[in-house]
Amino acid sequence: MSIRIYNTLTREKQVFEPLDPARVTMYVCGPTVYNYAHIGNARPAVIFDLLHRLLELHYTQVVYARNITDVDDKINDAAARLGVPIAEISTKYADAYHEDMAAIGVRRPTIEPRATAHIEPMIRMIERLLEAGSAYAAEGHVLFDVEAFDSYGCLSGRDLREMIAGSRVEIAPFKRNPGDFVLWKPSVDPQPGWDSPWGWGRPGWHLECSVMAEAHLGETIDIHGGGQDLIFPHHENELAQSVCSHDGKPFARYWMHNGFVTVDKRKMSKSLGNTLVVHELLQQHPGEVLRYLLLSAHYRQPLDWSEQELERARRTLDRLYGVLRTSSDRFGPFATDPRPGEAFMEALRDDLNTPVAIAEFNRVARDLAKAGTAEEARRAAGELLADAGLIGLLQSAPDAWFGANASAPESADIEALVTRRNQARASRDFAAADALRDELTAMGIVLEDRDGVTRWRRTDA
């Protein structure tokens, strides 16, 4: 079956047809490593990790590049405040990014290029743009001339005047057009810089991604992804400079963009003080809970983040792990099927429709819970585990999951009540044992007594 994706460039859902089925290419804009990643940064990481997994089931080779921006004014400012080299800042937060993304089940991409390792090819691309008449040098800067590219605005769907009026662009006297953007700019101490034909300086942000995509994936790539906020100006500018530097060849054949993450229906911002940092969230919640919530809405739609939705995700995962644990107690260990279920796969092939896929995922879990024979349980569990392996959930053993959750104060309280109930039963104080069971039931806890062992799980959210 074909994969269908919504292409921002054409504004319609299309069947995905790679340029070369033997080598599918995907580039996704990665982090600028000057601080810890927030939950909005985590959404594209999770979404395109899932797309990478899906593509790998359909094609023999998928080359996925997700860059690290390790030279940027925000990094420069952080380094200057602390009086350290930019590499110290970028290394610290790149390592933190890797650790945090791994905790929410995001695998490393095939290639993870860093901007500072591509200065020479950046200079070469600028030289090609100058030769083509698509760029010009002015006062130590080199700028892309947006009026030299007739299709400028094709990705965002707005004309040049509207884009300039609706966006923050740097107005400078040396620009021919206010929308012209920087390819190279001068550096002064303590800013980092490199030698170039235009003097000591550093590249513009938009140029970095075009060059890294070209260097590792080729002049035309299959899929380019990122957050909705990158459509303009970043991806619009990438498209323009890449097409002009490659003699008019298309830059990316499919463009995919995920929606924003809001917090309690409000946009995340420093001014509102509601920016949720993944590093901090992981101190309070298992990574799979964050991943489940990030996948719960369709990637093109906004995702509202709240404590209530986090609790719902945690309860759902508790239930799923509880079903696996109870079923394996009854029927023995299960093997994972070689491929996920077809209904689950079809939902993901339909533009990564994760809400439908997760609904199917939960339906299979209900089938497992209702299984009356070992064969029924084996079939349902195999499909559930295959689905889970693709979507990046249920990656712990059930006992390990509940053991990890027991570190939370609420779970510790539950464990204490379960222990007191078991002690009451051992003492044949059945009235006290029943009262404690009723207390746990009121808390939404289901007890399962089997072979002398009591286990608990939360009821469905």
| Residues whose CB is less than 8 angstroms from the CB of residue 136 and which lie 6 or more positions away in sequence, other chains included | 130, 142, 143, 145, 176
Q: What whole-number distance in Å separates Cα of residue 13 and Cα of residue 222?
A: 15
434 band by pLDDT with thresholds 50, 70 and 90: confident
Tokens of 324: 């696996």
pLDDT interval class at 461 (50, 70, 90): very low
pLDDT in tens, 9-42: 999 999 999 999 999 999 999 999 999 999 999 9
Residue 47 has pLDDT above 60, yes or no: yes
Transcribe 250-296 into DSSP letters: -SEEEEEEEPPEEETTEE--TTTT-PPBHHHHTTTS-HHHHHHHHHS
Question: Does the model's pTM come out above 0.85?
Answer: yes
Cα distances from 60 to residues 8, 278, 369, 378, in angstroms, run: 26, 33, 35, 29
How does pLDDT run across 132-145, given as a tens digit for each residue?
Answer: 999 999 999 999 99
Q: What is the CA radius of gyration of the chain?
A: 26
256 or 273, higher pLDDT: 256
Provide mean pLDDT across the span 241-249. Answer: 98
Residue 10: C-alpha distances to residues 33, 237, 288, 307, 386 (Å): 32, 17, 34, 37, 34
- Cα-Cα end-to-end distance for the chain: 34
Mean pLDDT of 429-458: 78
Provide the strand spans (E) within 2-129.
4-7, 12-15, 24-28, 62-66
Contact partners, residue 229, CB within 8 Å, separation at least 6? 260
- When pLDDT is cut at 50, 70 and 90, the band that residue 268 belongs to is confident
Categorize the per-residue pLDDT at 415 as very low, low, confident or very high, splitting at 50, 70 and 90.
Answer: confident
Query: How many whole angstroms separate alpha carbon 111 and alpha carbon 63?
Result: 7
The pLDDT of residue 446: 84
Question: What SS3 state is found at 183?
Answer: strand
Strands (E), 107-163: 135-138, 141-144
List, in sequence order, every residue forming a beta bridge with 203; answer none if it has no partner.
184
Examine the pLDDT at 161 and tell me if it is beyond 70. Answer: no
CB atoms within 10 A of CB 324: 22
Write out the DSSP string of 196-258.
Answer: -TT-SEEE-HHHHHHHHHHHHH-SSEEEEEEEGGGIIIIIHHHHHHHHHHTTT--SEEEEEEE
**Tens of pLDDT along 78-132?**
998 999 999 999 999 999 999 999 999 999 999 999 999 999 999 999 999 999 9
At residue 163, the pLDDT reads 57
Average pLDDT over every residue of 359-375: 95
For residue 225, list its beta bridge partners.
28, 256
Higher pLDDT residue, 125 or 167? 125
pLDDT digits (tens, 9 = 90+) for 194-232: 999 999 999 999 999 999 999 999 999 999 999 999 999
Helix axis angle for 430-442 and 409-426, nearest 10°, is 160
Per residue in 279-327, pLDDT (tens digit) is 999 999 999 999 999 999 999 999 999 999 999 999 999 999 999 999 9
pLDDT in the model for residue 294: 98
pLDDT in the model for residue 450 = 72
pLDDT on residue 204:
95
**Mean pLDDT, the chain, integer:** 92
As given in the structure block, the two tokens for residue 214 are 């070209």
Helices (H) and strands (E) in the chain, counts: 16, 15
Predicted confidence (pLDDT) per residue in 379-410, tens digit:
999 999 999 999 999 999 998 998 766 545 46
pLDDT at res. 335: 95
Contact indicator for 95, 102 with CB cutoff of 8 Å: no
According to the model, what pLDDT value does residue 410 have?
A: 64
pLDDT in tens, 313-326: 999 999 999 999 99
pLDDT of residue 409: 45
- In 3D space, the residue among 436, 411, 414 whose CA is nearest the CA of residue 424 turns out to be 436
- Categorize the per-residue pLDDT at 360 as very low, low, confident or very high, splitting at 50, 70 and 90: very high
For 116, other C-beta atoms within 10 Å of its C-beta total: 18
Residue 289, classified by CB atoms within 10 Å of its CB into exposed (0-12), middle (13-18) or buried (19+), is: buried
Whether 350 shows a pLDDT value over 70: the answer reads yes
Query: In the prediction, which pLDDT does 411 show?
Result: 64
